[in-house]
Chain A
Amino acid sequence: MSGHKKLKDFQEQIEQCVKCGSCRAHCPVFGQQKRESAVARGKIALAQALLEGEITLDKRLVEDMSKCLLCGSCVNKCPNLVPTDEIVMATRRTISKERGLSPLGKMISVALKNPGAVRVLGKTGHRLTGLLFRKVAGNSGLRLRFPVPYIAKDRSLPELASATFLEGQPEFIPGKEGQPTVAFFVGCMINHAYPQIGEATLRVLRFMGLNIILPKAQNCCGLPALSSGDGDTARVLADRNLAAFSEKQPDYILTSCASCTHALAKHYRGLSQDHDDFAAKVMDVHLFLEQAGLVEQLKQLPQGDDNIRVTYHDPCHLRGQGITREPRALLRAIPGIEFVEMEGADRCCGLGGTFSAYHYGMSQGIGSIKAAGIESSAAELVATACPGCMMQLQDSINHAGLKTGVIHLMELIANRLPA
């Protein structure tokens, strides 16, 4: 049903791991745990042992396979480019097939397949904000008043929106004649928690004169399901998204969420020809805008007097696609902004979807390295291109007691556009 590759389909890539140990220098989880089972080389050895029947699918193996951010840091630095992230995902699918979904995986599956219920939950959550959460100092998020499964009490969370982003939007916004038609894939984080990123993205797209389609029937991209080994749910969501975006044929499908782009462009491939065609249209909004000439347009805007020092965090799901230059080019072009690189800009923030639900301690540890980089950059704002990273960065900044603000690049740009 799922159409995703099986673990045994990765046999050849698994054999390409020559056990050199390079991944030990780059894996954020290994950096925390310093045990071989945490690093790519170890996980590949375990996947191979599983294929060869040398190890059973026991609790320990499930635990080891959960200790991966799927950040791809090892893949990019591997001399043989062994796709450990995909091998881990395939192993997780094997685990859920044989042992059933984990309780968290089941929750994710139900939630993602029933967006209506999530909306009701979100609204209830929003109404009950005061009861459920307390505010973190300043305007830097909320924390739970009491622990909830899979969410640590000291994890900073964004406030749930009273209405989803898509609720308030028309299905079509006409642009200038001759401009391409783009469909906006919103994604769950923006739709439920960060609607302002959606608003900002639309403002920038309108500024560029694009025709914009906002399919109401769009769903989660499926990455949380894939990350918890649930290929079937991921497939259901992929099919629904295909249907939602096929009504009006857009030239491009744009996202402001690095993880959504990654899921749509990478993990929809190979499911069917239609999925391939869909994936081929998917593009990160920053990459698209840079290619569409936004840098030049930004440079022509009047320069403000203020000068805000801003640094940039590379979301793994953009870095993995080689998109690192374009967001920086946009940032540098925004009037009134002084761009500074931070140390370790390309290091994973430590969220990793289900990873941080299972291993919040390690997630925090990885986040604290990020926070140190942010602090030494002395930036007032850290901009990024992924709402997931934003949540984690805010959490790391709060724990480090920093004052740095977190903002999406689209918000920074939209704020500087003429009214």
Chain B
Amino acid sequence: MLDSRIVRILQETVGKENVSTEQADRICYSYDATQQRFLPDVVVHPGSPREVSLIMKMANAEKIPVFPRGAGSGFTGGSLPTKGGIVLVMTRLDRILRIDEENLIAEVEPGLVTEQFQLAVEKVGLFYPPDPASLKFSTMGGNVAECAGGPRCVKYGVTKDYILGLEIVTPQGDIIRTGGETMKGVVGYDLTKLMVGSEGTLGIITKIIVKLIPLPEAKKTMLVQFDSIDGAAQAVSSIIRGKIIPTTLEFMDATTIDCVRKATSLDLPESTRAVLIIEVDGDQDLINRQAKRILEIIAPLGVISTQVAETQAESEALWQVRRSVSASLRKVNPDKFNEDICVPRSKVPDMIRAIEGISAKHAVPIVNFGHAGDGNIHVNVMVDLKTPGEHDRAHRAIEEIFAETLKLGGTMSGEHGIGITKAPYIPMELDPIAVTYMKTIKRALDPNNILNPGKVFLEDQ
């Protein structure tokens, strides 16, 4: 428990109504989408960068850990208050400060919900592509801190490709600007890139300058059913080799299809062993040409059927198949370990085959779907944690999946981050010297280790 003096200082800083030590609030800010729970001592909703700065200065003086938080929808525990202390909820800072149509940039506050931002820029014909599945509720600050991706990133890149500059409050409470609003800029170290994806361990984001692009005129969605996972995987590499980069290239494996078969009105026969959802966007002429070319390329690869959406409603119906996946996974088993490995695109078929082997070896169902176009596969190890031994079996399977991923030249996490759930596996991927290099940066910037401590790296024993 924090002593009442600290609570009083916090109340004086952000106002009484924005500080709570009530049990109800401590419970409500104890979790994220990992479903793990850690009770904070106090929940604070700051209303300005200055308030954030004052809180960090006080926290340093008092050595109180601070855990910045957006919507709390992360999959790896990046926002969990693992050591009690202060949860700093950034959602009051949710304004769009400007949309600059002349320079195609915008400046926003971190608590803004990503979809709200996208809708606002689309109203003026502009486009902010990163589209994590959580975009209707996750925040821009959280997306930047985790470097969120999404289906459209095959063509458009991920969050880091759109962040030009930031305002951050440093772990010691200073307010600094990184980067700027120009498309080019090489003065000093690129702190913007360092901050993006640093999971709230190096600074608290208080303003974000975003690059925008023109909104594509139209898009076309296709759902293709294949008789084998190999066919679908080959389709992905053939399309890319054919010099076409679709907006999205989502795939679902046979287990996934079994899960969604009843949850969708679409006819998914037993013979379908893999599904690709392919979307192209751009000028109407271009997308018609591209769609035609894609269908030609994949025709010899065991295509069972192809549905092409002509209207927005039809496109929604196709996407519904993909969106019903996450809920229907519970049919396999109640608990899941959700990993988001990424391998070179051409290695997707090898990876899928390896996962099938690991699934059989450990007798745990593994459901695969995700962004095949950029090699980012969502691997869901499905278990029932009430069964003794399931937890360990799942972890052994995950460890082997990571080992195989790295062997194929991939990475453990494409877009979910490390947080606490993947921290134990970091030594598998990163050179010890590289880890030391990173930890040195953290120690230099946050000598008291109070900003989101215990995340990304396991703490030294």
B28-A42 in contact (CB<8A): yes
Contact of A21 among B24, B27, B72, B330 (CB under 8 A): B72
Given A36-B28, A36-B29, CB of A22 within 8 Å of CB of B22: no
Q: Is B340 among interface residues, defined by CB-CB distance under 8 A?
A: no
Task: Write out, one digit per residue, whether chain B residues 92-104 have a CB within 8 A of any chain A CB (1) or not (0).
Answer: 1000000000000
Q: Is B305 among interface residues, defined by CB-CB distance under 8 A?
A: no
Chain A residues near B71 (CB, 8 Å)?
A: 21, 24
Contact of A25 among B22, B28, B30, B137 (CB under 8 A): B137
B138-A55 in contact (CB<8A): no
Chain A residues near B446 (CB, 8 Å)?
A: none
Contact of B24 among A16, A34, A37, A81 (CB under 8 A): A37
Chain A residues near B138 (CB, 8 Å)?
A: 21
Task: Write out, one digit per residue, whether chain B residues 313-343 have a CB within 8 A of any chain A CB (1) or not (0).
Answer: 0000000000000110010000000000000
B27-A49 in contact (CB<8A): yes
The 5 closest A-B pairs by CB, nearest first: A21-B73, A25-B136, A79-B327, A36-B28, A24-B137
Interface size class of B (residues with CB under 8 A): 20 to 34
Q: Is B91 among interface residues, defined by CB-CB distance under 8 A?
A: yes
Give A contacts to B, CB under 8 Å.
16, 18-25, 34-37, 42, 45-46, 49, 54-55, 60-61, 64, 79-81
CB distance from A162 to the nearest CB of B (A): 46
Chain B residues near A61 (CB, 8 Å)?
A: 24
Given A21-B137, A24-B137, A80-B327, CB of A45 within 8 Å of CB of B28: yes
Chain A residues near B25 (CB, 8 Å)?
A: 35-37
8 Å CB contacts to A: which residues of B105-142?
A: 113, 115, 134, 136-138
A19-B35 in contact (CB<8A): yes
A20-B134 in contact (CB<8A): yes
Task: Write out, one digit per residue, whether chain B residues 25-53 have a CB within 8 A of any chain A CB (1) or not (0).
Answer: 10111111111000000000100000000
Q: Give complex CA distance A61, B91 in Å.
A: 22
Residue of A36, A49, A55 with most chain B CB atoms under a 10 A cut-off: A36
Q: Is B312 among interface residues, defined by CB-CB distance under 8 A?
A: no
Closest A residue, CB atoms, query B31: A19
Q: Is B284 among interface residues, defined by CB-CB distance under 8 A?
A: no
Residue of A20, A37, A55 with most chain B CB atoms under a 10 A cut-off: A20
A34-B91, A49-B27, A54-B27 known; 5 new pairs, CB 8 Å cut-off, are: A21-B134, A24-B137, A25-B137, A60-B23, A80-B330
A21-B33 in contact (CB<8A): yes
CB distance from B136 to the nearest CB of A (A): 4
Q: Give complex CA distance A19, B75 in Å.
A: 10
Q: Give complex CA distance A20, B336 in Å.
A: 13
Closest B residue, CB atoms, query A55: B23
Task: Write out, one digit per residue, whether chain B residues 1-35 have a CB within 8 A of any chain A CB (1) or not (0).
Answer: 00000000000000000000011110111111111
Chain A residues near B92 (CB, 8 Å)?
A: 34
B27-A19 in contact (CB<8A): no
B27-A46 in contact (CB<8A): yes
Q: Give complex CA distance A19, B28 in Å.
A: 10
A25-B113 in contact (CB<8A): yes
Closest A residue, CB atoms, query B111: A34
Given A21-B72, A34-B91, A61-B24, CB of A45 within 8 Å of CB of B137: no
Given A37-B25, A61-B24, A80-B327, CB of A22 within 8 Å of CB of B136: yes
B24-A46 in contact (CB<8A): yes
Q: Give complex CA distance A81, B327 in Å.
A: 8
Chain B residues near A54 (CB, 8 Å)?
A: 23, 27
Q: Give complex CA distance A22, B92 in Å.
A: 19
